[in-house]
Amino acid sequence: MREFFALPEHERLAIDNVNSPHFRGYTRTGDERTGGRQDWRDQLDIGAERAARVPGADEPSYWWLEGPNQWPEALPELRSVALAWVDRLSGVAERLLRELLVSIGARADFYDPIFGERAHPHLKLVRYPGSAGSGADQGVGAHKDYGFLTLLLQDQVGGLQVEREDGVFHDVPPIPGAFVVNLGELLEVATNGYLVATNHRVVSPPHAVERFSVPFFYNPRLDARVEPLVFPYASGAPGVTDDPANPLFAEYGFNELKGKLRAHPLVAERHHAGLLSPA
């Protein structure tokens, strides 16, 4: 992945995600936002390689999220390596999800039907270039991931923090050869808050120190509806975290589209002006 960020800027910008109504491609430092504030990182967004789907008048707008990736001509091998990594980690995440379900007394295969060939995995290659010139330290602001599970491979620089029950963000020290596993909003919804989505953020590394990470997001089909699990502790679940500023929708695709429109305002303005959030 370092080879991608070592490319001349004009080669990275040739696949700028502003070109893509599907939110695929390269995002320049400062062009993504979390909580309305700039994230000080640049990245390459990659998903399942599929033909562009333009939703019809009677189809949900989240079908805009399905489409082709953008690949740098100077790194022809990146396509095969990245897509193979998506396939490999999809298998790892599938097994992990099934083990999590068994651990709380649910059926291991309960959610198998909402994945399959039309699942919507997402991979990012991310670079944090160091502190912003303004002194802001938001590598990426505090947030929860949309899907079921995130597998994060990070380098040894550090900066990832998670919020614990005490309401304080704690460092997650890098462990060589290990993934950080974040629970997503769909698991919180599925278990009515028994398994809580991981609220996390990244503090920019100091000065001009670079940090690299590769998060993989395990997501179901865009049209998937998450049905509540039946498990032994369901009656004691505290309920889903209520955030009026970040409502959750029954269909997964609406949740991801909502997040993408907020995080990538330049893409939203160019390709999706006037697109309304679902009621």
**pLDDT computed for residue 9 by the predictor:** 96
* Among 146, 122, 125, CA closest to 34: 146
Count of CB atoms situated within 10 Å of the CB of 213: 24
Band of the pLDDT at 277, cuts 50, 70, 90? very low
Q: In whole angstroms, give the CA distance from residue 89 to residue 86.
A: 5
pTM metric for this prediction: 0.95
Mean pLDDT, rounded, for 263-271: 95
Of 169 and 137, more confident:
169
Judged against a pLDDT cut of 70, whether residue 235 lies above it is answered with yes
Q: What is the DSSP letter of 107?
A: -
Q: Please determine, for residue 275, whether its predicted confidence score (pLDDT) is greater than 80.
A: no
In the prediction, which pLDDT does 208 show? 86
pLDDT for the residue 135: 62
**Residue 268: per-residue pLDDT:** 95
Digit-coded pLDDT (tens) for 143-165: 999 999 999 999 999 999 999 99
Residue 279 confidence class, pLDDT cut points 50, 70, 90: very low
Q: Is 258 helix (H, G, I), strand (E, B) or coil?
A: helix
Does position 227 have pLDDT exceeding 90, yes or no?
no
The β-bridge relationship of strands 138-143 and 200-203 is antiparallel
